[in-house]
Amino acid sequence: MSLNPFAPISEITAAIRSRKISASECLDAHLHRIARLQPALNAFVHLDSNRARATAAQIDSAISSGQTPGPLAGVPLTIKACIDVAGWPVPAGSLLRKDVIASSDAPLVARLRAAGAILLGNTNTPEFLMAYETDNRLQGKTSNPWSLDHSAGGSSGGESAAIASGCSAGGVGSDGGGSIRVPAHFCGICGLKPTPGRIPITGHFPGGGGAFAWIGVVGPMARTVADLRLLFEVMAGPDPGDPLSAPVTTKQISPTEAKQTRIGLLESEALGQPTDETRQAVDRAAKLLESAGFVVEPVRLAGMERAIDLWWFFFGAVIAHLFGQMVAGKESLLSPQLREYLQIATNEAALSMDELLKACAARDALRENLVRQMSATPILLSPVSSAPAFRHGAGNYAAGTGYLDTMRFSQWLNLTGFPGVSVPISSSSEGLPIGVQLIGRPYDDELVLAVAEILESARGPLAVPPIQ
C-alpha cells in the first residue's frame, strides 16, 4: 500500500492497525518528503529521525504481537519550536535561545507520546512568537506551500507549512492573537484555538499566567476538523502548571445536536474591512451551513472596538514591557520583526498598577457582556483575517495596513478566552487559500468543532498545494 501524504489521521491509523502499512514505512515516507521539501519551505527547526524510527519500530512490534495500539499509533506529528520536547532545542525563533534544550516533555507532548504519536521534530516561529510572519535571524523565513513567494503566517507558520505540504499529519501550535488560526488560514488547513485551560500551556515559552492567562493557548493543527478533534481529545485535561486548568471532561456532540445551534454571522466595522474574496468566502460558508440545516442570521456584538483595544494593552504594552526587561542590553541580536514590535508596543510612560488593574477588570466585564450577547447565537461565523496570505516581508505592525488592522477578526478572541477554529473554504484569484472562523463561548470547544466538521463536509474536498 502506498501512503497518501495528505491522508487524514484516521486513515493513517487504520492502515497501521490493519498492517496494510507499518509505522516505520509511514515514518520513512514523511521523512523522505521532508528531505525533499524542507529546502524550499524551511518549516523545520529540528528533526529527531533516530528517535522517531525507534518509536516506529516499537509500535510495529507491539501491533505484531497483538497489543492494542493507542489512538495516534504511528501518526507522524510536529511540535511548534516554543513547546518543550525533552532533548530538543526550544529556540522560539531567537538567537537568545539558540542553546536552550528542553529537559522534559510538556504535558501535551507526553500525552501525544502516550497515545502512540511519532514526533518528527519541531517547527519554525518568528522571534518570541510576536509576528504574523515566520521569519527570524536564527532560522530564516518559512514559505507557504501554495506560493513560495508568500508567508506561511505566524506565529505557528512552520507548523502550518509542514502540515499543509504533507510533511506532517498534524501538530501543535500556540495562539496569542491568531497564531494558530491565521497560519491555518494562510496555508489551507484547520486550526483550533481552544478555551484557555482545556489543553495545558505548561512547558510553553513564553509562559502563561496571571494577567496573561486568557491571552495565550496551545492547540491542534491538522488538515481536517476530525483530526483536530482527535488531537484535542488526546491533549485535553488538567495540569497544575496551567493556572486556568480545570477538570473539564471532553464531550461528544452529534451532528443532530449541533444543528440545533443558531449561528450568528458576525458583522462589525470595528474588526476591519475584509477583501471582497474574503467576504465571499464567509458568505459561501453561511450558505453551506444553511444548506446543512442551520439557522444563520446577522449578529452585531457591542464592545468589539473595546475588545481590540484591551487585547493590544495586554499583548502590546504589558508583554512588551516584560520582553523589554528580558532583552535589555541584547537588542543587537534581535530580529527586525521583534524590534519593530517592541518599538510600537512599548509605552513611553511606565505602566502603572492602576492601569493594569483597571484593564483586568474591564476585560472580565467585557467578557461577561459578550457571553451574554451570544446567548441566542452561541456560534459565530467570521473571517479569520481581512485577506489571504501576504508576500514575504509585507506584514508589519504599521497603522492602517498592518497587523493591528488586518488581524482584528482573530485577536479579540484572545482577550476573552473564546474558542475558535479556522476552516479552509475557498481560494483567492492568486490561488491562495481562504479560511473562515467559527467562534464559540468559553468551554464550547466541542460544539465549535462539531459545527466546523459539518461545514467542512458541506464544502467537500479541496485541492492540495502545488508543491510536490
- Answer for the pair 125, 142: CB distance below 8 angstroms, yes or no: no
Whole-number Cα distances in Å, 198 to 5, 137, 202, 233, 445: 30, 33, 12, 10, 9
- Residue of 155, 156, 268, 386 marked active site: 155
Q: Which of 135, 44, 128 is nearest to 91 (CA)?
A: 128
- Answer for the pair 395, 132: CB distance below 8 angstroms, yes or no: yes
Buried/exposed 410-433: b ≥16 CB within 10 Å, e otherwise: bbbbbbbbbbbbbbbbbbbeeebb
CA 254 to chain CA centroid, nearest Å = 24
Spatial separation of the C-alpha atoms in residues 226 and 66, rounded to whole Å: 27
Q: Name the packing angle between helices 408-416 and 304-312 (round to 10°).
A: 80
- Residue of 22, 24, 80, 410 marked active site: 80
CA 393 to chain CA centroid, nearest Å = 21
**Known catalytic residue at 155:** yes
**Known catalytic residue at 104:** no
Q: DSSP string covering 376-423, please?
A: S-SEEEEESSSSSPPBTT-----TTTSHHHHTHHHHHHHHHT--EEEE
Nine-digit cell string for 46: 529540528
Question: What three-state secondary structure class fits 156?
Answer: coil
Spatial separation of the C-alpha atoms in residues 181 and 169, rounded to whole Å: 17
Q: Which of 460, 192, 459, 211 is nearest to 319 (CA)?
A: 211
- Residue of 94, 179, 385, 386 marked active site: 179
How many CB atoms sit inside 10 A of residue 22's CB? Answer: 19
**Known catalytic residue at 151:** no
The residues assigned a catalytic role are: 80, 155, 179
